[in-house]
Structure 1
Amino acid sequence: MIDTSAHSRRSEPDEYAHLRPLLEDLAQLEPYDPKRSVIRDRLVTGYLPLAQHIAQRFSGKGIAKEDLVQVASVGLIHAIDRFDPRNGAAFLSFAVPTVMGEVKRHFRDSAWPMRVPRRLQELRLSLNQASAELAHRRSRPPTDAELAEYLDISEREVQEGFEARQAYLAVSIDEPPSGHEDRAPLSETMGCEDAALESVENHETLVLLLQDLPQRARVILALRFFGEMTQSQIARKVGISQMQVSRLLNHILNDLHHELVDVPERSEDVVGGRR
């Protein structure tokens, strides 16, 4: 008969070998024995470097290392509480997947900056693994069709997974790009001065000026620039000669031009209520 307990002790690294008796002692105590909390605390403290090491493996992926250590520590506590040394397995063979599972679950549930259905979260992970595997086999990035065949899903689902991947990591426009702290933040590279802003101010000023024009002058401008009529057509419409239409248009446009150039003084009049 194989001595599984001896095999487990040999499988435990030397740095944690001294904790094996504590695991066995913990398993023999009743749930409400006051000694449990003391031994449990010693085990958590002793195996804490394991949780820190696993947290370090997942750092740099959008979650602060301190938070990962905390999550990994919770996984370690779960492993200590559930481990039964009488099964013969080494504690690390049980604890490592337990702690890693806790960290991965935290990434799945908390690392997304926007709410994404769990199906798409898991699809993203599957696509990442499949992409790496197929790229290694073919020495090139796989196509959507190849990924779909490999995962036994449709190409539409592959596209959904890629779209979900875009939501995994949000980028602040007020911070420099990651790894390029010497560069300007994204907010300084987006957009430019809108050349049409000045025309907005001119438009609003022109509206006020047009309201001050006599009725006939407004009609002539409307027919010319909105109705696209010729001077002869305007003359027949208004009942005056073409020469009069020409002189009136020149006079109106010159007055409007001078008024627009004098915008600062007109703006003060409007603000002061003198219009």
Structure 2
Amino acid sequence: MSTASTVTTALSQPGTRCLSTELDLPEVTNPGAVAPKDAREISRIFFVRLASLEEGTRDHQYVRNTLIELNLALVKYAAGRFRNRAEQMEDIIQVGTIGLIKAIDRFELSREVEFATFAVPYIVGEIKRFFRDTSWAVHVPRRLQELRIDLAKATDDLSQRLDRSPTMAELAEYLGIEEHEVIEGVVASNGYTAGSIDIPMDDSSDNAATPLSDRLGAPDADLEIAENVQALKPLIEELDERDRKILQMRFGDEMTQSEIGEVLGVSQMHVSRLLTRITTKLREGLLVVE
């Protein structure tokens, strides 16, 4: 197939056939159907033309878009390395295409290297960055994400050399960092994956495996009450004798407001107002932030 004459070209957008003629370029009506060998030759022609066009112009945009579509096969090829993540394949193709675009914008024919050789590292790098930034179950700083990878490599290397698991100090010396940084990286590594507490746990007994949620402790429902009682004691001691007596009758002896009123010689309505004042004062004392 002659790339200059018989290769049918032009993108599926209005005016592309006219543009390719004006720019003295082959027309590409279906870039995805162009064979890899022909795509390489056509891409070279388009790169030559791209270098002579002003960025931002209609002609530049047409040539650049054609190069992207001609080389999408490189993205699919690179994405094939991650086929075990089939549920994310659409996202992988998208971020891989970003890598392809970056490669097109930075490629120069003077490098004397095939575009595919130049572009694949860009595409794979973009995909790996995508996994690095989205695969963690808990967000941690990128510095610690990269440290996790270094620690994994260092651990494998030292384990082979020492025939045992390396210590924190040995890992720190190997990586040339402080021991506390190693500890920080190991702790952060726990955020890479997360499991549901409803997943059944292995059990060595004959009983059926129970979920982790059934084995986790729960806050004591009475703990908050106990804490509030202890916090209330000094506040109650600050009340005058009459107020303390009213509290004792209402909440200790569980007397009604009418019964308290008879003891104090006041109306039930007045007892209600007294209780409101006392409890409000105690509540405000509990909520004071020191």
TM class by smaller structure: 0.5 to 0.7
Q: Give the counterpart letter for 1:42 in structure 2.
A: T
* Structure 1 residues 189 and 176: alpha-carbon distance in aligned structure 2, compared to 1, 3 A threshold: closer
CA distance in 1, matches of 2:114, 2:166: 39
For residues 16-50 of structure 1, give each alpha carbon's deviation from its aligned partner in whole angstroms, at most 9, with x where no partner exists. Answer: 53222222222222213323333322322222222
In structure 1, the partner of 2:48 is 24
Could you tell me which of 137, 140, 146 is aligned with 1:116? 140
CA distance in 2, matches of 1:95, 1:144: 39
Q: Give the counterpart letter for 1:17 in structure 2.
A: R
Q: TM-score, normalised by structure 2?
A: 0.50
Question: Contact 2:137–2:191 (CA<8 Å) still a contact in 1?
Answer: yes
CA distance in 2, matches of 1:37, 1:103: 25
CA distance in 1, matches of 2:197, 2:61: 47
CA distance in 1, matches of 2:55, 2:92: 29
* Structure 1 residues 165 and 78: alpha-carbon distance in aligned structure 2, compared to 1, 3 A threshold: same
Could you tell me which of 99, 109, 115 is aligned with 1:75? 99
For residues 120-152 of structure 1, give each alpha carbon's deviation from its aligned partner in whole angstroms, at most 9, with x where no partner exists. Answer: 112112112323444455565444333212111
**Amino-acid identity (%):** 43
In structure 1, the partner of 2:77 is 53
In structure 1, the partner of 2:186 is 162
* Superposition pairs of residues 200-215 of structure 1, within 5 angstroms: none
Residue ranges of structure 1 left out of the alignment (5+ in a row) = 1-12, 178-183, 195-199, 201-214, 216-275
Question: Contact 2:155–2:165 (CA<8 Å) still a contact in 1?
Answer: yes
> What root-mean-square deviation, in Å, do the aligned CA atoms of Structure 1 and Structure 2 show?
3.7
CA distance in 2, matches of 1:136, 1:16: 46
Residue ranges of structure 2 left out of the alignment (5+ in a row) = 1-35, 202-207, 217-221, 223-252, 254-290
CA distance in 1, matches of 2:99, 2:69: 13
How far the C-alpha of 1:175 sits from its partner, in A, is 7.5
CA distance in 2, matches of 1:114, 1:153: 24
Using CA pairs below 8 Å that are at least 6 residues apart, which structure has the higher relative contact order? 1
Give the SS at the match of 2:138: coil
For residues 159-183 of structure 1, give each alpha carbon's deviation from its aligned partner in whole angstroms, at most 9, with x where no partner exists. Answer: 2212111101233456799xxxxxx
Question: Contact 2:199–2:211 (CA<8 Å) still a contact in 1?
Answer: no
In structure 1, the partner of 2:211 is 189
In structure 1, the partner of 2:109 is 85
In structure 2, the partner of 1:128 is 152
CA distance in 2, matches of 1:132, 1:15: 44
Q: Give the counterpart letter for 1:80 in structure 2.
A: I
For residues 238-265 of structure 1, give each alpha carbon's deviation from its aligned partner in whole angstroms, at most 9, with x where no partner exists. Answer: xxxxxxxxxxxxxxxxxxxxxxxxxxxx
